[in-house]
Amino acid sequence: MESEYEKDNKTKNAKWSPFLKQLLVISILWSSYFVGGMSMGSPTVVIPQLRKEANSTEAVTSEMASWLTSIIGYSGTMCVFIIIPIGHFYGRKPTMTILSVSTFISSAIIFGRYDECSVAHRWLKGVNEDAEEELDVLIKSQKESTKSEASNKSVRQKIQKYVAAIKQPDIIKPLLTCFLIFSMYHASGKLVCAVYAIEMMKKLTGSQSTVYSGVLILDGFTVLGMYVGCGLSKILKRRTLLLTTSIIGTTFLFAMSIYLYLVNFSFIQENPYVILTMLIGYSVAICCGPIILSSSISAELLPIRFRSFCVCIFSVYCTILLGTVVKVSPYVFNSVGFQGAYLGFGIWSTITIILIYKYVPETKDKTLLEIAAIFKEREPDAETQLKLLPSNINK
């Protein structure tokens, strides 16, 4: 007798059913990005408005403005130590319910509720051969990883366990790789440009009338770049898309820096439409790659073992980096100007691109277990050992 899942899989809508169910779940998660964007974007509008109403920049000093824009990142660090432990010990469903977000499959896996996990996995991905094989491997892997945690351990033993875990290649390597990828997001300077968009447009264009129009145009092309990037991700490999768009965006950073230096030294006459065109090209390139891929690739690379622990470390790094970059940016703009800031971001991006090219693997069309196997140290096979045997004997 056919099961309910097998019958559902044979319907005409079976191809679209898992996709629509996943879309329903992820749409709730997207709301957190919407709220985060509103929080980061509010100071961009509020600070200039307060200064305009007071007719003085002293209404909101540079020191206060830097804290208003960076506090979102720093405050997120504290949330990491609250949300992730709750998610690890009580499951994703209670945590996401508190945060008005839907459940993850892994909440069922962590507490051994494998039947519930199977139901959720089949509901989201269907019951085709690949999905069933992936589900079987995930459950077997989780059973093996939870054996060591079955016995009660003291706080000291747990700390020693995590310290020992972070030293293992299959834990530290993907974690550092995630640091590298997310660093590209900030090295591009796009977030800083978005936060200080109005102030940046005022100084670059020198025209009050074109400031808000320029910001709206940039926002429109930012959204367009994300949609284009999503389409390209279906065609290109993730690593290829990330590297290509990062290189293009970095090229625009150097071009804008050179242009502004030439204007500053009066070699050429300033034209607001030239810098606006460069900013549009830069925004589209960065949004096609680093903006949309930094979080998705990092989520794929994070280790399966000690995943909650690694997510905690990664989240702390991300929030501190976000807050620090946004905090120091006004001082950079005031000391070296936008031309110097673009040059600095270009150099930082170039270094990051080189490291990504060398260390970041391809993750497209690979399961989490296949990705995890990339970072495991391989033992020499029998043939290699036989080749080494004679030289050892001669010694």
Q: Which of 69, 88, 125, 73 is nearest to 311 (CA)?
A: 88
pLDDT of residue 109: 46
CA dist 145 and 275 (Å) reads 54
Going from the C-alpha of 134 to that of each of 109, 267, 311, 316, the distances in angstroms are: 14, 62, 22, 30
The residue type of 66 is: S
Residue 275: the pLDDT is 84
Specify the residue for token string 């007071």.
54
State residue 91's pLDDT score. Answer: 63
pLDDT values of the chain reduced to their tens digit, one per residue, 395 residues: 445 444 545 544 456 676 676 676 666 666 666 666 666 666 766 666 777 777 766 666 766 766 666 666 666 666 666 666 666 666 666 666 655 545 344 444 444 556 666 776 676 667 777 777 777 777 776 666 666 555 556 667 777 877 887 888 888 899 999 999 989 988 998 888 877 777 777 777 666 667 777 788 888 888 888 889 988 988 899 999 999 999 999 999 999 999 999 988 888 888 878 888 898 999 999 999 898 888 888 888 888 777 778 888 888 888 888 888 888 888 888 888 888 999 999 999 999 999 999 999 998 888 777 888 888 755 444 444 444 444 444 44
Cα separation, 16 vs 124, whole angstroms: 11
Whole-number pLDDT of residue 234: 87
Alpha-carbon separation of residue 161 from 88, 173, 336, 387 (angstroms) = 16, 17, 46, 37
CB 332 within 8 A of CB 340: yes
286 CB-side CA count, 13 A: 30
- Look up the CATH number of domain 152-375: 1.20.1250.20
Q: Retrieve residue 287's tokens.
A: 């949004």
In the chain, what are the domain boundaries?
1-151, 152-375
Sign of the four-CA dihedral 346, 348, 351, 354? negative
Please, which residues have CB within 8 angstroms of residue 36's CB and are 6 or more apart in sequence?
72
* Torsion angle in degrees (nearest 10) through CA of 137, 362, 229, 80: 60
